[in-house]
Structure 1
Amino acid sequence: MRKLVLLFLLTLTSLAEAATGVFPDSTFNNLDYGLYWFGYGDSWQKAQPGYTNAYYSSTKPTVIYIHGWQNGSSVNKNRETFNRLDAGGPNLDLAHAWLTAGYNVGVLYWNQFADEGEVKDAEAKIWTATGPRAMRWRNASGAYASGPSQSAGDLLFQSYKDNLAGYNGSGIRLLGHSLGNQLAIVLTKKISDAVTAGTVNSKLLPKRVALLDPFYSNQGKSYLGNKWTGEVCRTYVSELKTKGVIFEAYRTSAVTSTIFVGDNNTGLMNMTAFSEVKTGYFNSTQQTQKHNAAVWHYLWSFASNPPLITGTSNQAASASTPDSRITTLMNGTQKLVHDLGGTTKEPWDDSFKLYAR
């Protein structure tokens, strides 16, 4: 049992491994966070209010990705982008199909705040600016510096609403990986509250939120009134569903749900269109790769027809599955479990079976 615990803890320390984007040294030597828009081939331009962006149109549907824990990424000058080869995925531009379909494609970065040796220290920054490490951030030399007085949730909300202020497209989809799923939920809650208060246009409320191998730590947190992060997320999601937000979730590894490391948050998964995705192309010790597979599998699946439920013409869940079908699955009483195609990385041979939740 001790060896199993150590294996999962060691795996968690390497979860930040992901594709390396080409960013100038200044991006890592100085504090940099917020929304970036992407074009083909991992080309990018940081979003800045009031400035034209080559990769953004206010009238297009939009997908925005939020990464998770980033231990060691500052020294390695790593930022997650849309080629996921270094994370065990295909050597492809996974934004290509989205861009071709007319989407704006973005990333909300908080990597220097998320660069902590202890995952719970990074997690706290999502919710509060006065947690165990406050809002310190890490630079390329590995040194920490004092950060702003706002939480990562507040900082990304500000970047989001400032840069999407004039948005008039058909809808926004948020993707949150690992710890980033908490940020996706917190951000959506802040947007919803602002819409209710009349300070943000209702067009900015995400239409759909995908939780990709989501992580929540165990135990109550003092900064949440001794509630668990997963518990608060359940409360938020329950409320957001009444506002019309669609939630889907995909589990690809044991790392985020083993009792020794994370809260599997079954209650929250049961509120979503939940799929258990098999990653048989990795062995049982490759939990980092399995964990990261949630991102590239979802992004890649947009280029394929929706998978089917084995033996039927009914659609299972994927990035290309229509909102209406995801809503039906979300509000149903069954989860999806990978049946065929779980030993190949390609998404187009996948099919699923329905099981009771």
Structure 2
Amino acid sequence: MRQFLLLLVLGFSSLTQAAVGVFPDSTFQNLDHGLYWFGYGDSWQKAVPGQSNAYFSNSKPTVIYIHGWQNGATQRKNRETFNRKDAGGPDLDLAHAWLVAGYNVGILYWNQFADEGEVKDAEAKIWSASGPRGMRWRNSSGVYSSGPNKSAGDLLFDHYKANLASYSGNNIRLLGHSLGNQLAIVLTKKISDAVSAGSLNSRLLPKRVALLDPFYSNQAKSWLNNRWVGEVCRSYVSELKGKGVIFEAYRTSAVTSTVFVGDANTGLMNMTAFTELKPWYFNATQQTEKHNAAVWHYLWSFSFNPPPISGSSNQAASARTAESRIGTLMNGSTKLVHDLGAYTKEPSDDNFKSVNR
């Protein structure tokens, strides 16, 4: 039953989130991973160390998205981008408002490694190159090949530090959806460790990390020293908060937080500025759409003023909410629960209530 639910929701989510025709066939037939910068209308250019990029400026604020499980996506030649209409979102370029505001907008891709029939096999690759499936990757013919002797966390860290080596700005934000939230946490930990060791400029440490309908599997893992992934993520987040990193989290579906499917990781959610969104424009059976809503709702919310809290002059959490306010919510004793606007997709009418954690 657990595996069926995962395939039904998390697996199908990769089908509905991705974009077909944005990338050439070679991107799927050959192994391709790393950082891509985006312009308007899903235009893109892969980041290559030492080469100029039409969609990147080393002084701008920067937002980078990391996707999750991609079961079957390579054969469909699908990759996630910033138009999420096929995921139940609006037919809009959700990078537009960020670009207008002067942001670099990027995606860190690991989709061919994440293309596994079992979510735990993809999850293992985030942490270790020695998990159940090693670092095998899938091509568009459906064939698996042996991959590099580095975990996805290490590979994305290599791409990050090489392509942001000249970064002179002071505002980097990471977004991680579903399984990708673990990569956002792991990547931030690796960046922090390198900064502490003096091998990386402190400007590269993200100021803010958003966990979007985050997923953590149950049970201890042999490839993680017999610890739960949620447990390790909690320890990392606790340490990173001490380094000044701000964490926010948004729950939109039941699939990532039920004992039959994943670890709710309530302890970690309580360490963040945590919001329970209610995408009630989808019915109770549309858990896939609800799971995907976390991404497009967050990206879209940057286009609007921060939402209010009922009976208060304070602001709730959104992509537009200032870091200082997110930090206050993160360190507070309450969480936010969707109150008004739950039946409309556009975030402009959202209103929240504050309740004890």
Q: TM-score scaled to structure 2, two decimals?
A: 0.98
Look up the match of 2:271.
271
What residue number does 1:126 align with? 126
Cα distance in 2 between the residues matched to 1:235 and 1:226 = 15
Structure 2 unpaired stretches of 5+: none
CA distance in 2, matches of 1:11, 1:99: 31
CA separation in 2, counterparts of 1:327 and 1:228? 27
Matched with 2:202 is: 202
Matched, 1:140 2:145: no
Code of the aligned partner of 2:338: H
Q: Which residue of 1 aligns with 2:68?
A: 68
Q: CA deviation at 1:5?
A: 7.7
Aligned twin of 1:259: 259
* CA offsets 1:97-136 (integer angstroms, 9 cap, x no match): 0000000000000000000000000000000001000000
How many percent of aligned residue pairs carry the same amino acid? 77
Which residue of structure 2 aligns with residue 19 of structure 1?
18
Matches within 5 A, 1:87-126: 87-126=87-126
Matches of 1:98 and 1:128, distance apart in 2: 33
263-272 or 304-313, larger mean C-alpha shift: 304-313
Counterpart contact for 2:125–2:134, Cα < 8 Å: yes
Alpha-carbon offset, residue 10 of structure 1: 2.4
Distance 1:255 1:152 in 2: 24
Following superposition, the deviation at residue 7 of structure 1 comes to 4.3
Structure 2 distance, partners of 1:218, 1:208, is 26
The AA in structure 2 aligned to 1:351 is N
User: What secondary structure, in the 3-state scheme, does the structure 1 residue paired with 2:35 have?
Assistant: strand
Aligned to 2:158: 158
2:252 and 2:278 in contact (8 A); partners too = yes
Would you say the 8 A contact 1:19–1:85 is kept in 2? Answer: no
Tell me the secondary structure at the aligned position of residue 274 of structure 1.
strand
Look up the equivalent residue of 1:15 and give its one-letter code.
Answer: S
- 1: CA distance, partners of 2:41 / 2:6: 34
Q: What SS does the aligned partner of 1:36 have?
A: strand
Q: Equivalents in 2 of 1:100, 1:313: separation in Å?
A: 28
Write the distance in 2 (CA, Å) between the matches of 1:30 and 1:9. 26
Aligned equivalents of 2:133, 2:151: Cα separation in 1? 11
Query: Which position in structure 1 is the counterpart of 2:214?
Result: 214
Q: What amino acid sits opposite 2:232 in the alignment?
A: V
1:312 is displaced (CA, Å) by: 2.0
CA displacement, residues 233-262 of structure 1 (integer Å, 9 cap, x when unaligned) = 000000000000000000000010111010
Matched, 1:317 2:309: no
1:64-122 deviation per Cα after TM superposition (whole angstroms, max 9, x unaligned): 00000000110000000000001110000000000000000000000000000000000
Amino acid at match of 1:23: F
Aligned residues: 355
TM-fit CA distance, 1:8:
5.2
Residue equivalent to 2:230? 230
Spell out structure 1 runs of 4+ moving beyond 4 A.
4-9
* SS in structure 1 of the partner of residue 336 of structure 2: strand
| Residues 44 and 317 (structure 1), Cα distance of their counterparts in 2 relative to 1, 3 Å cut | same
For residues 7 and 164 of structure 1, do their structure 2 counterparts lie closer, same or farther at Cα, with a shift above 3 Å needed? closer
Distance in 1 (alpha carbons) for counterparts of 2:157 and 2:18: 25
CA distance in 2, matches of 1:188, 1:8: 27
Separation in 1 of the partners of 2:139 and 2:319?
34
Question: Is the CA contact 1:70–1:112 (under 8 Å) kept in the aligned structure 2?
Answer: yes
Structure 1: how far apart are the matches of 2:311 and 2:330? 21
Structure 1 CA distance for aligned equivalents of residues 5 and 135 of structure 2? 29
Partner amino acid for 1:20?
A
TM-score in terms of structure 1 length: 0.98
Q: Work out the CA distance in 2 between the residues paired with 1:57 and 1:355.
A: 41
**Counterpart amino acid of residue 19 in structure 1:** A
